Chain A
């Protein structure tokens, strides 16, 4: 007598057997879709170690958990962005999104259209059963008009999404539709998708007899029979005729199969031309064999700073405010002062800038506090020095000019008024001098040179070094000349109360 031998079914290798039986109802279409995917995977020639399946929430979403592959069962609607992260961080992976119509087209609709638009390399299988099966059969964005669900008791009034049209319009590389009654064609389509670069999308009309069928008088196997009858198979289906009504034909076939530059290819192309070192695989992966290291602050080593001999000692923090109009480069002046003090004078400097919407155009200001010791509060509240380059800026910030402070202005552009006597005004025709050098745009650097000559808190060498490092290449000569002009003007003595 021959002992009966129990062999593994070839598909078993792809299933987590310990997770079977699955949760799906008798007559549900999802099993056929999963089965077709397993067939397609088995014959794809892919190294299955590198295949990941991502799903969202719902009956279909459970599929990721039945396959013996890397599987990710994510939040409702978010399978596609999750899959995007997987794919981009490891382009060797073949990433399949397997989810339902509610998940992908309602709550995840935004992700769906953007992934198709980017043409990101994902294989999206959408099992469309026209309702929310898992939560008891509510209507959704693909529910046909007049169909009954638990939330459309009088018949659905909304026009449903035509998913294949939507995906084609968004730029998907591959778009097809079959029903779960067509396992062979499903498998072919899935096989093509697995080879395809870019975003590919397969809609499978799958019966949900338990909820959708029951409420639309198509119980048990009747719903599948109906889909089989309704299906129209065409080799070149016309996507304009792909709407689905309760009783309409369901047009099936391949709607789009184009060579479109995928997201990854576009990224490689765009970046490799400009950044020679580009390599997606690179060192993005975490080395896995290393033992964890105790978390510790990566404190800066605090090299003994080489203190420049001319470093100004600033006992009490000095507050500086610079104001001008957009385009005058007043922010750059602040940056240079900050860099000079913080990097080259080895003092402390805090730079802040106005970030209010009205700072776009119009008068704006930036502020620096410099000190030899620590600076705590970051904002300039009582400026010791104000530099103002335009009347508009003067009008706006005049309130900040305090008795006893120093006010540095462009002589031709600012007419100070209503100031306490104790304010020390120092003026320079910065814009005029800049024009004489050749370019009005360096007026800010002229005034910076002037500032350096007058103010003892930042050393000349530090300022020169910071200036060099802060201006575009090719403009060094002009900027240095502007700086010297302002500096010389300041050294030549300037009249208070210009």
Chain B
């Protein structure tokens, strides 16, 4: 068996680092369909998976890719797919199935400019709301956003760990710049990488109910071939997994799917604060735009403006409580994202009029010009 963790220091693209992180997290199944700017992940997985006993398959489209990784997960493999805008739109149908059937898996979206075919080779950050509620029905999901190749590696591992722990498809919201840029990436020793695995059944087949949850609202997960005769359906189901087409069952199931993330959001949500204490204005950002905000902070420092930065490592669940707290004592939030206002709306909602909220956004194709963001800062300073 080949090595799944190639410890060392490298100069990698975010896409390559993402593939390395997947293998380190234990991913052994990848199904995908080529699409710019994510294809390098598939390419890398096609080389590496066979070396570690895993399977790579190129499917006929993204719909099939998403279905295949769900199937693989129920066969016991950690599985992943990677795509971009048009592909993620096709995957949403089965992402919904993954949510409903509580199937751990990781879906990478290397965001490009949209709508539709948009800008295949250029950056966008406009799939943030789609990541949250793109599939029909009511649910909560987890989405992470790396801002460098090193984080592409680290966050892919986090994504798998979160998927396995909370039994939900986890979306890694990369963007074209992070996917394609190269930087130093340190791959640690295998023993230093924390890997979480789904909780298997604690009882033998027979009485065991495959969708009966524990206190933490997460059911134990047997897989195909273990003798549990699992029944898995996208229909509203009871604790045995059997279809139950009635409102009581819907209430019980869907509220649990939502609450297992919402009630645990303090455990899941993750953000980074820089210079927030004493700052009048706080930038809110994620992914590649975070780096622009860091450059803006330096410009502000030179001018003596105290600028804070709230950077979302995990976008969903959103750090609502923290944003509420901050809104009470700052002058303004300035959300910097490559779209015309998605996270900005969340910030506005949580700030609830207690401070100013502004957006610095654009339609995509390039990153923000730090000077323009700084101008916006000066305007409200």
Chain A residue contacts of B2, Cβ below 8 A: 275, 277
Whether a CB of chain A sits under 8 angstroms from the CB of B276 is: no
- A343 adjacent to B197 (CB under 8 Å): no
Within 8 A of B (CB), among A339-366: 339, 342-343, 348-353, 355-357
Are A89 and B67 in contact, CB atoms less than 8 angstroms apart?
A: no
Residues A72 and B232 in contact, CB atoms below 8 Å apart: yes
Q: Which residues of A contact B195 (CB under 8 A)?
A: 293, 298
Query: CA–CA, A357 to B112, complex, Å?
Result: 14
Q: Is B200 an interface residue when CB atoms closer than 8 A count as contact?
A: yes
* CB-CB contacts below 8 Å: A360-418 with B: 374, 376-379, 381
B346 within 8 Å of A by Cβ? no
Q: Which residues on B sit within 8 Å (CB–CB) of A307?
A: none
Is the Cβ of A295 less than 8 Å from the Cβ of B196? yes
Instruction: Please give, as numbers and ranges, the residues of chain A lying within 8 Å of B28 by CB-CB distance.
Output: 89, 282-284
Shortest C-beta distance, B282 to chain A (Å), equals 17
B182 lies within 8 A of A376 (CB): no
Q: Does A217 sit within 8 A of B, measured CB to CB?
A: no
Name the distance in Å between B235's Cβ and chain A's nearest Cβ.
7
Q: A97 CB to closest chain B CB, in angstroms?
A: 11
Q: Is A68 a contact of B75 with CB atoms below 8 Å?
A: no
Is there an interface contact between B229 and A71, defined as CB atoms closer than 8 Å? yes
- What is the interface of chain B mostly: helix, strand, loop, or mixed? mixed
Interface assignment of B59: CB less than 8 Å from any CB of chain A: yes
Is A19 an interface residue when CB atoms closer than 8 A count as contact? yes
Note all chain A residues with C-beta closer than 8 A to B31.
81, 84-85
Bound together, the chains give a CA A74 to CA B71 distance in angstroms of 10
Assembly CA distance A356 to B164 (angstroms): 37
Judge whether B183 and A342 touch: CB under 8 Å: yes
Size class of the contact patch on chain B: 35 or more
- Separation in Å of the B117 CB from the closest CB of chain A? 12
Mask for A108-123, Cβ within 8 A of B = 1, else 0? Answer: 0011001000000000
CA distance A261 to B329 in the complex (A): 69
**Interchain CB contact under 8 A, A355 and B121:** yes
Residues of chain A contacted by B229 (CB below 8 angstroms): 16, 68-71
Across the interface, B196 reaches (CB within 8 A) one of A73, A111, A293, namely A293
> A81–B68 contact, CB under 8 A?
yes
User: Are A298's CB and B183's CB within 8 A?
Assistant: no
CB distance from A305 to the nearest CB of B (A): 9
What B residues does A87 contact at CB under 8 A?
A: 71, 75
Inside 8 A of A78's CB, which chain B residues have their CB? 63-64, 67, 93-94, 97
B209-248 interface (Cβ within 8 A of A): 222-235, 242-243
The answer to the question of B325 belonging to the interface, with a C-beta cut-off of 8 Å to chain A, is no
B2-35 toward A: CB 8 Å interface, digit per residue (1/0)? Answer: 1010000111000000000100111011010000
Residues on B with beta carbons closer than 8 Å to the beta carbon of A298:
21, 24-25, 154, 157-158, 188, 192-195
- Asked if A355 and B176 make an inter-chain contact with CB atoms under 8 angstroms apart, the answer reads yes
Interface residue? A25 (CB, 8 A): no
Is A88 touching B72 in the complex (CB atoms < 8 A)? yes
Is there an interface contact between B177 and A378, defined as CB atoms closer than 8 Å?
Answer: yes
- A84, B200: Cβ atoms under 8 Å? no
Q: Which of B51, B150, B197 contacts A292 (CB 8 A)?
A: B197
A378 in contact with B200 (CB, 8 Å): no
Shortest C-beta distance, A370 to chain B (Å), equals 11
Task: From B254-262, B290-298, B300-308, B316-324, give the one contacting chain A.
Answer: B290-298
Write the A83-98 contact mask toward B (1 if CB under 8 angstroms, else 0): 1111111101100000
Contact yes or no, B230 A285, CB < 8 A? no
Which of B77, B189, B199 is A90 in contact with, Cβ under 8 Å? B77
Compute how far the CA of A338 lies from the CA of B182 in the bound complex, rounded to whole angstroms. Answer: 8
Check B51 against A275 for contact (C-beta < 8 Å).
yes
Q: What residues of chain B lie closer than 8 Å to A81, measured between beta carbons?
A: 31, 59-60, 63-65, 67-68, 71
**Contacts A86-B74, A301-B188, A348-B183 given; does A16 touch B268 at CB 8 Å:** no
Least distance between A127 CB and chain B CB atoms (Å): 18
A74 near B97: Cβ-Cβ < 8 Å: yes
- A49 and B52 in contact (CB under 8 A), knowing A74-B97, A81-B63, A111-B60? no
- Which chain B positions have C-beta within 8 A of A335? 11, 182
Give the nearest-CB partner of B202 in chain A. Answer: A289
A54 within 8 A of B: yes
From A19, A85, A302, residue with most partner B Cβ within 10 Å: A85
List CB contacts (< 8 Å) of A288-322 with chain B: 288-303
A351 vs B60: C-alpha distance when bound (angstroms) = 33
Chain A min CB distance to B291 (Å):
4
Chain B residues whose C-beta falls within 8 Å of the C-beta of A85 in the assembled complex: 29, 31, 67-75, 79
Q: Is B55's CB under 8 angstroms from A88's CB?
A: yes
How far apart are the CA atoms of A152 and B107 in the complex, in Å? Answer: 41
A-chain residues with CB within 8 Å of residue B183 when the two chains form the complex: 342, 348-351
Query: Are A86 and B224 closer than 8 Å at their CB atoms?
Result: yes
B345 within 8 A of A: no
Whole-angstrom CA separation of A136 from B269 in the bound complex: 46
**Nearest CB in chain A to that of B65: its residue:** A81
B363 within 8 A of A: no
Closest to A356 in B: B121
Q: Is the CB of A277 within 8 A of B291?
A: no
Are the C-beta atoms of A71 and B94 separated by less than 8 Å?
no
List residues of chain A with CB within 8 A of the CB of B230. 70-71
Contacts of B121 in A (CB 8 A): 355-357
A82 contact set on B, CB distance < 8 A: 67-68, 70-71
| A348 and B184 contacting across the interface, CB-CB below 8 Å | yes
Does A329 belong to the interface (CB within 8 Å)? no
- Collect the chain B residues with CB atoms within 8 Å of residue A355's CB: 36-37, 121-122, 176, 180
Q: A75-B97, A283-B4, A379-B366 are in contact. List 10 more A-B contacts (CB 8 A).
A: A65-B233, A81-B65, A87-B71, A111-B60, A271-B50, A278-B53, A284-B53, A296-B161, A376-B291, A377-B291
The 3 closest A-B pairs by CB, nearest first: A282-B53, A85-B71, A288-B200
Q: Could you list 6 A-B pairs, sorted by A, with CB under 8 Å?
A: A82-B70, A86-B75, A111-B64, A295-B196, A298-B154, A374-B294
Chain A residues in contact with chain B, CB under 8 A?
16, 18-19, 49-50, 52, 54, 64-65, 68-75, 78, 80-90, 92-93, 110-111, 114, 267, 271, 275, 277-303, 335, 338-339, 342-343, 348-353, 355-357, 374, 376-379, 381
Q: Could you list which residues of chain B lie within 8 angstroms of chain A, going by C-beta atoms?
A: 1-2, 4, 9-11, 21, 24-26, 28-29, 31, 36-37, 50-55, 57, 59-61, 63-65, 67-79, 93-94, 96-97, 120-122, 150, 153-155, 157-158, 161-162, 164-166, 176-177, 180-184, 186-189, 192-201, 222-235, 242-243, 267-268, 270, 288, 291-292, 294-295, 298, 366-367, 369-370
